[in-house]
Amino acid sequence: MIVSKFGGTSVGSAKNINKVIQIVSNKNEKTVVVVSALGGITNLLINASELAKIGDIEYETTLAEIKSRHDKTIEELFKEEDRDQIKIYVSNVLGQLKETLNGVFLLKDLSDKSLAKIVSTGEIISSFIIARSMKNQGLNAVLKDSRELIKTDSNYINALINNDLTYNNINTFIKSNTNDIIVFPGFIASDSKNETTTLGRGGSDFTAAIIAKAVNADVLEIWTDVSGMFSANPKLVKQAKPIQQISYQEAMELSHFGAKVIYPPTIQPVLDKKIPILIKNTLAPSEKGTLISKNINGNQSIVKGISHIENIALLTLEGNGMVGVPGISKRLFESLSQEKINIKFITQASSEHSICLAIDVSEAKKAKETIDKQFEFEIIQKKIKPLVVEKDLAIIALVGDNMKSHQGISGKMFSVLGNNNVNIRAIAQGSTEKNISAVIAKRNVKKALNSLHAAFFESHIKQINLFIVGIGNVGGKLLEQIKQQQEFLLNKLHLNLKVIAISNSKKMFFEPDGVDLSNWKTLLNSEGKTADLNEFYKNVKNLNLQNSVFVDNTANNDVPKQYINYIKDSVAVVACNKIACSSEYDNYMNLKQLSREYNAPFLFETNVGAGLPIIDTLNNLIASGDKITEIQAVLSGSLNFIFNYFNDKTSFYDVVKQAGIEGFTEPDPRIDLSGVDVMRKILILIRESGVEMELEDIDNNSFLPQSSLDADSVDDFMETLKTEAKHFNQIRQEAETKGCRLKYVAEYKNGKAKVGLQHITKDHPFYNLDGKDNIVLFYTNRYKEQPLIIKGAGAGADVTASGIFGDIIRTGNK
């Protein structure tokens, strides 16, 4: 015999009920079908009860919604001629419900007995509709009210089964029954006085397990809306996969810690008889699902799943008066048990100085009152402190039978959480070592689940979540490169790069599942919101994704002010924007220091020499114990381009304009031509060499005439390049007569730095520097006579974008 339970979503609509009937009609042995209320109805019933209890007439609206949900299903499920009869039955049941709710409303009192009666309505109606529909479709089915067979105590909301009586009743009934299919309402039962009781939220699973045990079924099938028990809640972890096989104990632990796909008490009855449980998807019946059984075959992973419970409160009882005093824990647990408060997690400090408990937050107030009362005497004597209650927490648990025989699982768990800036409030390891659980802030749940899942189940794949500000020349190229490389990175480097948000100065667009990079311009324009740096930051913070990287492709002064916020949230920062690293030394150092503290990389390779590996090389020299003694460099791709192409056939104005068009200058060319851009770059190299220096400490010997220096706007400035043509021609001719070339050189020597135009002779390594190339000569303790030279394209959107790309990949290696 098979016992098949269909959950709320499986019977949530006429379409799904037909799927259920299809599944059941394919069975060729006797089948017991246990059904839940239509999805969402139990919640509505509870909601209506609560409204009625506080005297809010709005309960009638909820009631109307309950009625219309059922009416709609009946209309879609039944032929016109059958509908009336069914509707009469349903309106009868709903009429009784209305009366009970009205009583609650008038008395403003909701007893557990009334509540059980109210919520039982969902299963009473659903089982009636489903059994009737089966019969109408020609199946040999019968409905049996579970309340006649499943007998419990009078704890109406979480009733305990009277085992002997119940198993006997079920057995006798089923043995004498000749139908192919028996439909039972799940969740509901009755006490010795035949009053309706319920088995706790999610209790239909338990009904099915009791019946399975009573009839010694071959298998207990739990049909739901997902294809099995997943390695983590699939609604929160996209990469989660169904677990093919799992032991009873593992399933029990996972469900205890929140994997609500199966109600925890369900497992015990079938475990007693070693009846396997098969979790299947009603919406995709051909998928394998999860088999829960005693013996599991094949290679099993050490960690089977990760589950979590939200809405947790942590209670800490603490005090010197607890040390070595017997009976404290007993009193603590007894007082909670008297109030029927369920403890989900316990840890005790080895000093016995404190005990930590986790419970559902809804019970925190009651717990505080009862515990403070229990220890009133000790609290007055200051031997124990009043109970401390912390809220907005969650429990996250790793589960696996084999964890006990493997070391380092908890270490890995904590380092993964630590790396993602998830603070752990308390830790517990079950005595069976089948679970390790930790209490964390509720807001970190999604991040914690995803990063733990990545570490334990997708160890080979790391998802990096990108938030990109600045999508002009450089940013646009970056998006292009990411799109092109995504597959390669996934296959070769096991990195899954996802662009979660993009923004320019006008609009910003967020897509938590990843922006479609073949369509980003349209998405930004049609669906983007008004750009706002603070809002952007808030969104990143709220999404709270693991391995997040903020990418600044702008030359904007305000964007870098946000770096500190990102870093403090453990979001890595990758910038081609030089403002932050060339601002006050303290600010630069602070960012670097915070980056270490929060384990959030702060990378800016493209600040100097675009994609050339200049800063990386410098960092490697320093890290390996070398010391920089002198730097000589041509660091401005734009100035190099300009002086390379400035000759007697072109005007200075034209070459500057051309450099702008080609994207080699900063958006404001004055930054390049004044030498400020080069000053910033050499400053960054000096600082990365370990020397403290400010921008003002650098000598800038400008080649610009006063009128250009004084220009107020870009246009005025460009104009002066025309009017001062003579000045520029003269500079060029002076160099030419000496057989020299003009290079804008940055130098650092003997602790001093300067930038300026220099006459470069033929024998100098800078002489043949083409186009927009950069060159850097590092003289160090190791490279004394012959410097270490890095040379290559130092400007341009493509190479800059690839430098940023490199930094992004590097954040993945943290």
Q: Is 264 in the site for Mg ion (CB under 5 A)?
A: no
Binding mask 8-47 toward ligand ADP (x if CB under 6 A, else -) reads xxx-------------------------x-----------
How far is Cα 682 from Cα 754, in angstroms, rounded to an integer? 9
**Rounded CA gap, 331 and 341, in Å?**
14
Among 125, 199, 226, 313, binds ligand ADP (CB under 6 A): 226
Near ligand ADP in 675-714, by CB under 6 A: none
Q: Of the listed 507, 681, 743, 772, which one is catalytic?
A: 681
Q: How many residues bind ligand ADP (CB under 6 A)?
A: 20
CA pair distance 790, 345, nearest whole angstrom: 58
Taking the least distance from each CB to ligand ASP, the nearer of 205 and 250 is: 205
How far apart (Å, rounded) are the C-alpha atoms in residues 790 and 787? Answer: 10
Out of Mg ion, ligand ASP, ligand ADP, none, what residue 307 binds, judged by CB under 5 to 8 A for its kind, is ligand ADP
**Minimum separation from the CB atom of position 114 to ligand ASP (A):** 17
Query: Which residue in 33, 209, 229, 341 binds ligand ADP (CB under 6 A)?
Result: 229
Largest interatomic CA distance in the chain: 116
Q: How far is CA 344 from CA 309, 397, 549, in A?
A: 9, 11, 35
> What is the CB neighbour count within 10 angstroms for residue 678?
25
Complex with Mg ion: residue 141 or 259, whichever CB lies closer: 259
3-state SS, residue 222: strand
For residue 547, state whether it binds ligand ADP (rule: CB under 6 A). Answer: no
End-to-end Cα separation, the chain, in angstroms: 55
- 202 touches Mg ion (CB under 5 A): yes
Q: Could you tell me what percentage of the chain is helix, strand and coil, using 3-state DSSP and rounding each to the nearest 5?
A: 45, 20, 35
Least Å distance, CB 597 to ligand ADP, is 34
- The partner in contact with residue 9, picked from Mg ion, ligand ADP, ligand ASP, none with C-beta cut-offs of 5 to 8 angstroms by kind, is ligand ADP
Quick one: what does residue 234 bind among Mg ion, ligand ADP, ligand ASP, none, with the CB cut-off 5 to 8 Å set by partner type? Answer: ligand ADP
Cβ 200 to ligand ASP shortest distance, Å:
8
The verdict on 130 binding ligand ADP (CB under 6 A) reads no
Which residues are CB-contacts of 23 (< 8 A; sequence separation ≥ 6)?
Answer: 4, 223, 282, 285
121 versus 503: smaller Cβ distance to ligand ASP: 121
Helix (H) or strand (E) holding 210: helix 204-214
- Rounded to 5 degrees, φ, ψ at 473 are -55, -60
Torsion of CA 668, 672, 675, 677, to 10 degrees: 90
CB nearer to ligand ASP: pick between 201 and 521:
201
Q: Which of 118, 119, 259, 303 binds ligand ADP (CB under 6 A)?
A: 259
In the complex, least distance from residue 2 CB atom to Mg ion, rounded to whole angstroms: 19
Q: Which does 226 bind (CB under 5 to 8 A by kind): Mg ion, ligand ADP, ligand ASP, none?
A: ligand ADP
* Residues found in the chain: 814
- Rounded to the nearest angstrom, the gap between the alpha carbon of residue 641 and the centroid of all alpha carbons in its chain is 46
CA–CA distance, 448 with 413 (Å, rounded to integer) = 10
Structure tokens at 63: 């009631």
Question: If contact means CB under 5 to 8 A according to the sort of partner, which of ligand ADP, Mg ion, ligand ASP, none does residue 37 touch?
Answer: ligand ASP
Question: For residues 738 and 731, is the Cβ–Cβ distance under 8 A?
Answer: no
**Contact set with ligand ASP (CB under 6 A):** 7-8, 36-37, 42, 122, 186-187, 201-205
3-class secondary-structure state, position 41:
helix
Which amino acid does the sequence have at 631? Answer: I
Is residue 234 a contact residue for Mg ion (CB under 5 A)? Answer: no
If the CB atoms of residues 202 and 228 are measured against ligand ASP, the closer one turns out to be 202
- Site for ligand ADP contains 110 (CB under 6 A): no
Cα–Cα nearest to 231, from 418, 439, 455: 455
| R_g over Cα of the chain | 36
Q: Is 538 a catalytic residue?
A: no
Candidates 120-128, 221-229, 750-758, 780-788 — which segment interacts with ligand ADP by CB under 6 A? 221-229
**Residue 454 or 574 with smaller CB distance to ligand ADP:** 454
**Nearer of residues 152 and 562 to ligand ASP, judged by Cβ:** 152
756 beta partners: 701, 745
Which residues are known catalytic residues?
681
Binding site residues, Mg ion, CB under 5 A: 7, 202
Binding site residues, ligand ADP, CB under 6 A: 7-10, 36, 202, 224-226, 229-230, 232-235, 259-261, 305, 307
